[in-house]
Amino acid sequence: MLRKSREILYLTPISTVKLRMKKHMLQEECDYPENNALYLMLLSGDLVTYGDEGRTKQRHIATHQIYKGVLDHSGDNEEEWYVYDISGLLREYAKEYATDSPNNLLCTTTELRDCHYRKQENNAYYHIQAINLPFPNIEFYYLTLDQKNDKEASHEF
């Protein structure tokens, strides 16, 4: 992500992490919102080289889609907002996260992601401008007791 400043979160296995998304986002660039989903890409802070382009990027950990029907039934929703708890999802991949550089959770919808890649495929200028995925993201470290050398520090968790 290219930014002037960054905010990095420090998460633990007992952290509660809820995503908020405006409900209308499932209708953007989408003829059939019921088929659309909140699209989450979980990336490690570890870097790897992918594909024939030889581009170095963050290692992919998981992609997770939460469809409209599930979002509609979330008990935490507000009038104009979907509110979805991803704490368990983040815990599931705890052993995959980098410990020495920030990890990344990118959020979009399935249709907006597809629209981004269609533009990139059809327009070299757009491809150059979109060096990184233009989606909201959370950079984080995931801290567990297994990663602590100082046993006396366990009170922090």
- Over residues 1-26, the pLDDT tens digits come to 445 678 899 999 999 999 999 998 88
**Domain total in the chain:** 1
Does residue 46 fall inside a structural domain?
yes
Structural domain including 64 reads 8-156
How high is the pLDDT of residue 110? 77
% pLDDT > 70, the chain: 75
Does residue 145 fall inside a structural domain?
yes
Does residue 137 fall inside a structural domain?
yes
Does residue 20 fall inside a structural domain?
yes
Q: Is residue 99 very low, low, confident or very high in pLDDT (cuts 50, 70, 90)?
A: very high
pTM for this prediction: 0.77
How high is the pLDDT of residue 157? 31
Does residue 88 fall inside a structural domain?
yes
Does residue 2 fall inside a structural domain?
no
Q: Do 15 and 67 form a contact (C-beta atoms < 8 A)?
A: no
Residue 119's region, left for phi above 0, alpha for psi from -120 to 50, else beta, is alpha
Q: Do 29 and 111 form a contact (C-beta atoms < 8 A)?
A: yes
Does residue 1 fall inside a structural domain?
no
Does residue 84 fall inside a structural domain?
yes
